[in-house]
Amino acid sequence: MENPFVFGEPVRGDKFINRKRELERLKAYILSGRNVILYSPRRFGKTSLILKVIEELRDDIIPIFIDCYAITSREELAEEITRKVLKTYGSFSEAVKRLLANIQASVTIKTEYGINFEVKFSRKSESWKDALDLPQKLAEDRKKRVVVVLDEFQELSKFEGLLKVLRSKLQLHDKVSYVFVGSKRHLMEWIFRAKESPFYNFGAHMVLREIPKEDFKAYIMKAFEMGEIGIKDDVVDYILSLTKCHPYYTQRLCFELWYLGKTKGGVEKDDVDKVLRDLVSDLENSFILLWENLTPNQRKVLIMIAAGEKDLFSGETIRRYNLRSPSSVQSALKKLIEKDIVSKNGTYKISDIFLEYWIRERFIEGKLY
C-alpha cells in the first residue's frame, strides 16, 4: 500500500482532508464572479485547496495558474500570462488570430518536451500591459468564466508601479475571477486592506486555518488502519498536540511514522518522540544557519515565544530575557515577521513547528545534547 501521507507537494484525490467549508465558500465566490484574497502561513494547503476547487469546477471554468514567486519583472508576468492563455487553445494559429492581433510580442513554439510557447515582450516598450487583458479576452472568446490564480501575489509588490497598472486592468475584467494567494500576511493585508493601496478592498478575504483536530484525527486513524498499523487514540492526540494540526508538519511526521509502523506493526508515543527528534536532527544544520543570521534580540524573542510566554511586552518578561524595553521586542518581532519566521494571528507564533521544537529542546529544556 502506498504511504497515504503527503508533504512537500499539493494533496490530491482522496488524500485531500476535509476543508469542506472553505471548498464550498471558494467555489461560490468564483462562480458568482467575485475576486478572492486567500492567505495563510506557508505549507497550510492553499495550493491543494485551489487545485481541488479547479478540479470540481473544471466543466465551468478555464483555469490559469501563475506562480508569482518565480516572476522577476513586469514584462515576465505579462509573458507568463500570455503563455498560459495560449496553452488553453488547441490551435496556435487560432489563438494568435483571436487574441494576439493587436499585441506586440515575439512568440516561439517549442516542441522539445511537448508543445510549449516562449513569449517575449520588449523591455523598451509598454506593450506588456496589453497582455494583462488576455484573460478577459479569453473568457469573451470562449464564452466561459476564466479563473486566474496568482500564487504568492505579494511578491509582485516589489515591482514599482505594477500594482497600480494591474488594478487599472483587472477592475474591468467582469468575466474573470482572480484568486490572490499569499503566505506573507502582513504584506497581503497591506495590499488589500490599506486605503493607500491600489488593491484596497478588491475582493473577499479568506484566511486558511489549521485543519480541525477531529477531521485530522479521523483521517490519521483510518490511514493507519488501512495500512494494518495499530495506533491508539491517545497517540494520535499526542501527534496533533505536537504539530498543532498544521497540515504540513502533521503529514510530515505521520509519513515517517507510517513507515516505522509498517515494520513494527504499530506506533506508540515513544515512537512519535523518536521520529520527531530524528526529523529535527536532519534539519538542524538549516536551523543553525538561520540562527546565526539573527540578532541577539531576535533570538531572545524566539526563545520567549517557544517558551510559551503569554505577554512578550511585560516588564517581568523583558527583564527575565535581558531585553532593554518593549520597543526592542517590537523591533525584533517586526523583522522576524518580515523574514517569515514568526506569524501573528491574535498571538505570535513561530511559523516552523520543527524550528520551535528545536529551540525549545536546545535552549530551554536542553534535551538535544
| The predicted structure's pLDDT at residue 127 | 84
Please tell me the least confidently modeled range out of 121-125, 173-177, 247-251, 346-350: 121-125
| The predicted structure's pLDDT at residue 109 | 64
CA 273 → CA 86, 267, 276, 368, distances in Å?
51, 11, 5, 12
- Cell representation of residue 323: 531585553
d(CA 319, CA 325): 9
The residues pairing with 218 across neighbouring beta strands, listed in sequence order, are none
Could you tell me which residues come within 8 angstroms of residue 299 by beta carbon, excluding any fewer than 6 positions away? 291
- Cell representation of residue 64: 490559469
- Tell me how crowded residue 68 is: count the other CB atoms within 10 A of its CB: 19
Backbone angles phi, psi at 104, to 5 degrees: -90, 100
Q: Answer whether residue 280 shows pLDDT above 60.
A: yes
Q: Answer whether residue 340 shows pLDDT above 80.
A: yes
- Cell representation of residue 346: 491574535
Q: How many CA atoms, within 13 angstroms, populate the side-chain half-sphere of residue 264?
A: 14
**Does the pTM exceed 0.75?**
yes
SS3 at position 342 = strand
Helix 134-142 × helix 74-87 angle, to 10°:
10
d(CA 119, CA 2): 40
Could you tell me which residues come within 8 angstroms of residue 121 by beta carbon, excluding any fewer than 6 positions away? 75, 78, 79, 104, 105, 106, 127, 128, 131
CA-derived radius of gyration, the chain = 24
Averaged pLDDT for residues 142-156: 95
Q: Answer whether residue 156 shows pLDDT above 70.
A: yes
| The predicted structure's pLDDT at residue 368 | 45
- Tell me how crowded residue 28 is: count the other CB atoms within 10 A of its CB: 11
Q: How far is CA 183 from the centre of its chain?
A: 5
Task: Categorize the per-residue pLDDT at 313 as very low, low, confident or very high, splitting at 50, 70 and 90.
Answer: very high
| The predicted structure's pLDDT at residue 14 | 72
Comparing 8 with 263, the larger pLDDT belongs to 263
Domains of the chain (ranges; CATH) run 19-207 (3.40.50.300), 212-282 (1.10.8), 294-369 (1.10.10)
| The predicted structure's pLDDT at residue 30 | 95
What secondary structure letter does DSSP report for 226?
H
Please tell me the least confidently modeled range out of 2-6, 42-46, 176-180, 242-246: 42-46
Could you tell me which residues come within 8 angstroms of residue 45 by beta carbon, excluding any fewer than 6 positions away? 11, 19, 208, 211, 247, 248
Q: Answer whether residue 369 shows pLDDT above 60.
A: no
- The separation between the first and the last C-alpha atoms of the chain, rounded to the nearest angstrom, is 37
Q: Answer whether residue 12 shows pLDDT above 80.
A: no
d(CA 335, CA 348): 13
Q: Answer whether residue 44 shows pLDDT above 90.
A: no
What secondary structure letter does DSSP report for 14?
G
| The predicted structure's pLDDT at residue 18 | 73
Burial call 89-119: b when 16+ CB within 10 Å, e when fewer: beeeeebeeebbeebebebeeeeeeeeebeb
SS3 at position 88 = coil
Is 61 in contact with 145 (CB distance < 8 Å)? yes
pLDDT in tens, 194-220: 999 999 999 999 988 888 899 999 999
Is 202 in contact with 182 (CB distance < 8 Å)? no
Task: Categorize the per-residue pLDDT at 118 as very low, low, confident or very high, splitting at 50, 70 and 90.
Answer: confident
Comparing 41 with 13, the larger pLDDT belongs to 41
SS3 at position 116 = strand
SS3 at position 349 = strand
d(CA 6, CA 312): 35
Please tell me the least confidently modeled range out of 36-50, 117-131, 335-349: 117-131
- Tell me how crowded residue 175 is: count the other CB atoms within 10 A of its CB: 16
Nearest to 331 by CA among 363, 358, 300, 288: 300
| The predicted structure's pLDDT at residue 110 | 63
Averaged pLDDT for residues 131-147: 94
